[in-house]
Amino acid sequence: MEIIIQPDADAASLAGAAVIDALIRRKPAAVLGLATGSTPLTLYRELIRRHREEGLDFSRVTTFNLDEYLGLAPAHPASYHFYMRENFFHQVNLSAARAHLPDGLAADVPAACRRYEEQIAAAGGIDLQVLGIGADGHIGFNEPSSSLASRTRVKTLTMETLRDNARHFTDPGEQPRHVITMGVGTIMDARTVLLFAFGPAKARAVAAAVEGPVTASVPASALQLHPRAVLFLDQAAAGDLRRREYYRWVHENKPDWQRF
């Protein structure tokens, strides 16, 4: 794991955007795995800025989002379809046909989950997956106890996640308890993983993921087994890391050829 601690969330987001920019310029038909939530908003804003001002071209890029609420229509303002259209898709030149999210309204959910995995494979696999982390250690919506070998499937959200995300629903009765999410195994197949975590509420989960044992109780800890997982943290999210001075030292002393 590479731990990059930045002064604040904006600096961490800009550093992550630069990695994605470099990938797309090197591989214009790159396949990106995308995340929702409050964490990647600045990352998307910076990618949009690079598209508008610096010619970053998404016309051949393919995307797959991590998850979607079961039962929410794409037009629902709390759906991840809606989030992605508003915060990213509509502001770059990405082809709608190449922007994928799980289908929260699928009539046959297991078949839709299998098809999502097949679509990822048919696209050549995910080159770079963007991740946030839940306060309970989830990645995607793989809540604690998720199999570390899991694939795209339905999950039931924890009470903690339901509470964390309640702010997105004006009518609490509309908040789904179930989601379709890529599995931990799906995420682990991405060639590069960038995980972003900001704020003190994420410090405990980050420390458990980086310095705790690899365990299904902290799904993000599976990333310890990933050959190319990079964590972009602000000071607060790095606050509980015992070796944070070492991670800073590593970053400051990286040979140029090894830098992103």
Catalytic residue list: 67, 136, 138, 143
Q: How far is the CB of 197 from ligand PGA (least distance, A)?
A: 8
Indicate whether 16 belongs to the interface with ligand PGA (CB under 6 A): no
- Cα diameter, the chain: 53
Binding mask 73-112 for ligand PGA (x = CB under 6 A): ----------------------------------------
**What's the CA gap between 231 and 260, in Å, rounded?**
13
For the chain, give the number of residues. 260
Q: Which of 134, 137, 176, 219 binds ligand PGA (CB under 6 A)?
A: 134
Q: What is the dihedral of CA 135, 138, 140, 146, to 10 degrees?
A: -160
**Judged by CB, which is closer to ligand PGA: 134, or 176?**
134
Indicate whether 175 belongs to the interface with ligand PGA (CB under 6 A): no
**Judged by CB, which is closer to ligand PGA: 38, or 91?**
38
Indicate whether 219 belongs to the interface with ligand PGA (CB under 6 A): no
Q: How many residues contact ligand PGA, by CB under 6 A?
A: 6
Question: Do residues 178 and 70 touch, judged by C-beta distance below 8 A?
Answer: yes
Q: Give phi and psi for 169, each to the nearest 5.
A: -115, 120
| Cα angle: 203, vertex 220, 86; to 5 degrees | 85
**Judged by CB, which is closer to ligand PGA: 16, or 132?**
132
- The 8 Å CB, 24+ separation contacts for 172-177 are 174/72, 174/76, 174/78, 175/78, 176/69, 176/70, 176/71, 176/72, 176/104
Indicate whether 133 belongs to the interface with ligand PGA (CB under 6 A): yes
Q: How far is the CB of 214 from ligand PGA (least distance, A)?
A: 19
Task: Centre a 10 Å sphere on the Cβ of residue 15 and count the other Cβ atoms it contains.
Answer: 18
With CB atoms as reference, the residue minimizing the distance to ligand PGA is: 37
**Judged by CB, which is closer to ligand PGA: 205, or 254?**
205
Through-space distance between the first and last CA atoms of the chain, rounded to whole angstroms: 14
User: Quick one: tokens of 25?
Assistant: 């310029």
**Judged by CB, which is closer to ligand PGA: 15, or 219?**
219
Q: How far is the CB of 142 from ligand PGA (least distance, A)?
A: 10
Q: How far is the CB of 192 from ligand PGA (least distance, A)?
A: 18
Indicate whether 39 belongs to the interface with ligand PGA (CB under 6 A): yes
Indicate whether 132 belongs to the interface with ligand PGA (CB under 6 A): yes
Q: Which of 37, 102, 104, 219 binds ligand PGA (CB under 6 A)?
A: 37
Closest by CA to 161, choosing from 146, 182, 176, is: 176
Q: Give phi and psi for 204, each to the nearest 5.
A: -65, -40
Please report, as ranges, the residues that interact with ligand PGA according to CB under 6 A.
37-39, 132-134
